Structure 1
Amino acid sequence: MESKAPEPVGAYPYTRRVGNLLFLSGVGPRQRGIKEIPGVKRDEHGNIIDYDIEAQCHAVFANVRYILEEAGSQWNKLVDVTVFLTDMKRDFPTYNRIYAEYFKENQPCRTTVEVNALPTEIAIELKCIAIID
């Protein structure tokens, strides 16, 4: 089965199992085999002029789901989610609304923090822990 998850941007695995827990490394919105980041708008010189946090949220949640399923777990087995945003004031309301749509049934513990920057010019990244059978 070919992976749907994006390639890691460094020398690390996406998952590590310890007992019945599955730890996920930070997951961003990049898509496998595509250089451009979802929702990023650039000027003619390649500089970022804007981004769509909604597009990045949907992409990052899809990536987490791919990684969980490829590792033998499921979305509804998430128990803890740490979310990193680069602009809490601008992006939190949209992210929070979309997060609520994805976590209607299963509501893992959650921490959301603002960070100065994330790798590869992304605006959101998730670090997750799930149960694996």
Structure 2
Amino acid sequence: MTKQVVFSEEANPPLPFYSQAIISGKTIYVSGSIGIDRNSKLVEGGVQAQTRAAIENMTKVLQGAGVTRDAVLKCNIFLANLPRDFAPMNEVYLEYFPKNPPARTCIGVASLPLGADMEIECIAELP
């Protein structure tokens, strides 16, 4: 099995200990994205603004692998406050996946990097 590292100049730069995504076979494994800007600062506006920023960054990584969000098979979402943020996160999520949304898991967690409200990762398929 061979692995190919995906790097998109358009996406937020990854920290030195992980890749933005890895391709293995016809599958793309995209690392988690939180709602930060290019300077690794959390975006203001709560979970909805962070969800937009995180999905936009994830989209740029997917584009770096040559696919769009339509190729996403599964998303995992982590929320630091599941009861409070589930519905507002979903509103934004459905803007990006309005038709035939991918399979998804949403998990409540104790905390996320930089005090983020949410994080999203995905698995997608190459054509």
TM-score (norm 2): 0.87
> Superposed, which structure 2 residues align to 1:46-85 within 5 Å?
52-85=46-79
Kindly, what percent of the aligned residue pairs are identical? 29
Moved over 2 A (4+): none
Question: Among 83, 93, 97, which residue is 2:91 paired with?
Answer: 97
Flag the structure with larger Rg: 1
1:39-83 per-residue CA deviation (whole Å, 9 max, x = no partner) reads 1xxxxxxxxxxx511110110110111110012121110000000
Contact 2:58 2:121 in 1 (8 A): no
Is 1:36–2:41 an aligned residue pair? Answer: yes
- Between the two proteins, the alignment pairs up a number of residues equal to 120
The equivalent residue for 2:4 is: none
Contact 1:81 1:128 in 2 (8 A): yes
The equivalent residue for 1:17 is: 23
Can you give the 5+ residue segments of structure 1 that lack an aligned partner in the other structure? 40-50
Distance in 2 of aligned mates of 1:131 and 1:35: 28
Name the SS of the counterpart of 1:127 in structure 2.
Answer: strand
